Every structure is written in structure tokens, then in C-alpha cells.
Amino acid sequence: MKLFRRPVAGLVALLFFLSGTVTPAVGRSEIIGQTYKNTDYGFQVTAPAGWSITKNVGAALVLLESPDGQITFRAYGKLLAGLTSPSEQRRMAKSQYGIRGRETTVQDRIESWEGREPVYLPLPSEVVPEEPLVGPLEGEALPVEAPDKQTADEAEPEGGRDDDPDAGEVILRDLTVMEALILLQGTTGNPYKDAAARERERELEKGREEPDTADPLTAVLAELAEAKPYLAIYEQELADPATGEVRRTTHLACFVLRNMVGYTFVATLPTERFEGSLRDLTGIFQSLHIPTLDGGGFSGAGALSMDPQTTGVVVGKVLIRGTPVPGATVYLYRTEEDYRAGRAYKTGRSNFSGEFQLVGIPPGTYFLLEAFAELGGESLSTYLPVTQIKVQRGFGSFYNLELDQAQ
């Protein structure tokens, strides 16, 4: 016989919780030299030489600012309540952090540079050669008639090229706009695709069937399974109401979703300085380090908390089709009568990795353990609630709860 579900009032309360978001404190952080580290959110970023670093500026966990104050880089972190798709995380982040403008991907920007003569980026301000260099500098294009861009101080050593310890390394001053964009593209984990690779991909796509997106839950899980950092360029134009002067601003934004934690990294600068600043921006985005949050404040259920003399613990994971479900509410009922009346003995919520922990449970046999959640517009409930839960003094009882769409 199918067991009755909890009263509607309890479900409404659950949905009210899941519809909101939970934003934790800024967490433990420190600045060491030019590197900012946040222990709780589990990420770090390094500023270029000469840039300033300030913690906790408005909603941002950290602000990096160029010496002239014209270029900024902000990092945001948000703990989400419930499983969120990458596209939904981007939508919320853009709205909350003021990311506006016409969007283009870095791949599209790279393609627009294909076939152009190489344009070299300006040297970093701290790198000043003792003698004038032969070749293009400060953004000048390489002359068509120039057979070689090798400079005087890059000439081969007397012993030959093989004796040069730096042979094969990228020369700092020779970074081009095209190369910098390709490096940025690599920051997302998606390598640059040249024309031949794009053509092969298009041919493969022709033979594939369109994915079934009729089921919102299936669509969200499919998106999460392929989730990678997303890097895009947003160009915005604002007119000064007093002078009518149009100000063009570029945002280079990276969105990263790690289960229940959404990261947003945004570089903002005048549009006319975008290409000339690619060297610094590339260095910042390449310095970003986001581990799997192991050891962070939101990483797991942690050590079991119990009084070994009197109580036990019920722990486990909430899953749907093998995917951890954060933000799910878990209910433990002592008796069948309590279950029918909606009187849970103990409740808890799963963390970002789907783990839950119900502590301080007296030894004995409990009637039922179940979970509820909201995902992709669907109400989810335990496919097969666990019954006859055995709790022993000083031990943890482990159970996984598999969710499915509520009937």
C-alpha cells in the first residue's frame, strides 16, 4: 500500500525555503603578496604586479584594481539553496552583479581575428628593455614585408639554438591579441577550435538527434552533467545625461558552478582598452584556482557529531539519477502514526554534495526516512522511503535516498 505524503502545509513550507537563496558570510580569507585566498569558498586569484587588492568590497569577496583605477576585477561567491542549472546561475549572477551589454563568446572573438596580421600586446609597465627593440610594439601590426620578428636580443646564441635554455618558451613581449584570446578560451577548459575542427563538429551535429528537452528535470540534469566554466564578453554603451558623451564599457565575465556554490568573476574596463589589457586579464584568469571545495566550509557533512554514550547518527546522501541533490529536506519519523500526522521526529537538509546528517538520535528502530526537494520546476520525493531504520548507541546509520518526480 502506498504511504500517505505529508500535509500540504509542510510541503508549502519546504517550497518556500527552496525558493530562496542562502548567502553565507564572506568566509575566512587572506592576502599574501599579490594573491588572495578564501578558505571557505575554496578559491584563490593573483593580481598583476602593481595592482591593489581589497577584501570584501560591497558584494564582492575581493576587488583587484589596476594602478590607474580604470580596470577592475571582482570575485563573487554565493551558496545556492537547491540544485541550480548553469544557465540559471548565469542569469541570476548577471542580474545581481550588474553585468549588462551585448554578449559574445571568446571563441567568436577569436574567429573574428583569424587571418589577420598579428597585433602585439603592449609590454607590461614593469618590463622596460634597455635598448629599443626591432619589431612591432605597443599594439602595432607586423609589417607585411617583415620576414622575421626576431629582435636583436633574441638572436641565437653562438652555440646554436639547442644550447639556449629558453628555447621553445614563449617570449613575453611577443604575445599577440590572438594568442591572448586563445589563452583566455583555455581558461574555461574549452580549447580553441580552428576552422577545420569547427567544420568537423558541424558535420557530426548533422547526424545527431535533437535532445529531448520536454522534461525540465532531464534538461537540468543534462546541463549539469556537461557544466564547465563559462567565459563571455559583454559590451555596454551608456550616454552621459549631462554631456551626451557615450561611454563604452566591456565586462569579461566567468561563471563557475560547483554544485551548490556559484562563482562569478568579472573584469570591467573601458572598451578601448580591452585588447591592450589582455595580457593582464589573461594572467588574472589563468591564476584562478578553484578546487573541488574539499576542506572548504561548505564541502561535506564533516565529522559525525554524537554523544557515544547515549545517541547515534543517521547520515547519507540524497540523489536523483546518481546526481547529488543539495538543499533537500530529510525527515525521520519515529512511528507510522507520527508519519501519517506529519510529525517528524528529526529533520535536516542536504549540503551542496547531497550529504545529510541527523544527530542526537536515541537508540531504537524508527519507522521511516524520506526526503523532498524542488528541481527544474518539478517537485521531487523519495522513490522508495527507507523503513525500519536501526539506530545504535555511538554508531552512524548510513542510508541513500533516491528521488523521483512526485506522483
Domain end call among 287, 308, 328? 287
Q: How far apart are CA 133 and CA 135, in angstroms?
A: 6
Q: How far apart are CA 106 and CA 188, in angstroms?
A: 10
**Chosen domain end from 241, 265, 287:** 287
Q: Is residue 62 domain-shared with residue 183, that is, in the same domain? A: yes
**CATH number of the domain encompassing residue 100:** 3.40.1000.10
Partnered with residue 254 across adjacent β-strands are: 231, 265
Q: Are residues 302 and 241 part of one domain?
A: no
Residues 263 and 390 in one domain: no
Quote the CA–CA distance of 149 and 173 in Å, as a whole number.
Answer: 11
Angle, helices 216-225 vs 86-96, to 10°: value is: 80
Q: Do both 365 and 316 map to the same domain?
A: yes
Question: Is the same domain home to 192 and 56?
Answer: yes
183 assigned to some structural domain: yes
What tens-digit pLDDT sequence spans the chain (407 residues)?
334 334 333 333 333 333 333 334 455 789 999 999 988 787 899 999 999 999 999 999 999 999 999 999 999 998 776 667 888 889 999 999 999 999 999 999 999 998 888 889 887 754 444 444 343 333 333 344 444 444 444 444 444 444 555 555 545 567 899 999 998 888 776 778 888 888 888 888 776 666 555 666 677 677 676 677 889 999 999 888 888 888 999 999 999 887 667 899 999 999 999 999 999 999 999 898 875 433 334 433 333 444 556 888 898 888 888 778 877 899 999 999 999 999 999 999 887 678 888 888 999 999 999 999 887 667 888 988 889 999 888 777 888 899 887 65
Measured distance CA(232)–CA(106) in Å, rounded: 6
The C-alpha atoms of residue 254 and residue 63 are separated, in whole angstroms, by 15
Shared domain for 226 and 330, answered yes or no, is no
Give pTM, 2 decimals. 0.62
Cell (9 digits) for 183: 589563452
DSSP annotation string for 149-181: ---GGGSPPTT-GGG-TTTTSPPGGG-BHHHHH
Q: Which domain holds residue 328?
A: 8-20+298-405
Sign of dihedral through CA atoms 354, 355, 356, 361? positive
